[in-house]
Structure 1
Amino acid sequence: MEFSDTTYSWLGKTVLIVEDNETSNIYFEAALRKTKAVLIWARNGLDAVEIVKNKNQVDLILMDINMPKLDGIEATRIIKGINPEIVIVVQTAFILSGEERMCQEAGCDEFITKPIRLKYLLDTLNRYLASPKEI
């Protein structure tokens, strides 16, 4: 799906993508390239926590649940303890019983499942990253 460069313009916003799967990383890179957001990458929850501790400018985190070292649910819990204002959108390929509830209890703001449709991804992130006049 094509979109104009101005449809989703998040200039000045920083998105932290926490994902250990290379195929997903390629998808997110392609999907978010034209949004003008700064993209930061982490391969696991521990790296995401460290990035948040050291980079206060993260506006939104796109968090995978199933990762090595520290899963996305626990990473979300820790990050929200550090900075409850950071928006965390949890994404997963697995829909386990109670998983969405656990993510909400950990503090996530949104829960989306893979495969993620491009327009749905962009619209979801846009709710949090667009300036109020653009929504």
Structure 2
Amino acid sequence: MSLLNTLLFYLILAVIGLIIADYLGRKRQIGFHRSLFFSITLTPIFGLLITLFTKQSAKPTPNPSILKKIIGWSVIIFGISSITNIVPPYVLAYNLSISDHLGVILIRFLLSVGSIGYGTFLVARSNGKRYDHPSEGFSFY
């Protein structure tokens, strides 16, 4: 996959993520910005699932949860440790060109950043934090 195809692919994913964040994330406690972040870094499918599994804005703030905090810190540690393995081992083992594998490296980087972001989201949610603000972001309508 060439660099241009990779960039076009991520542009399409960003537009899909923007639509998910605008129409669903804005109406939920996750908010527009977090929904957009997860839709771009963890692919729109996972962004959609994370957005749909958060409560709607009209529902009360969740109670503090130790389980969410444990899972959140585990996901953060996983994300940080996976950053060290961004360049695929076969590229290093066979002295292949890193520029030919930028798509794979970009995907691994975004998944690592998305994991760290989701972990911090879970830790904040374990303390009862909400992200739905009526003044955030922009809207298509």
TM over 0.5: no
* TM-score using structure 2 length: 0.26
* TM-score using structure 1 length: 0.26
- Larger RCO: 1 or 2 (CA < 8 Å, sep 6+): 2
Which is richer in strand? 1
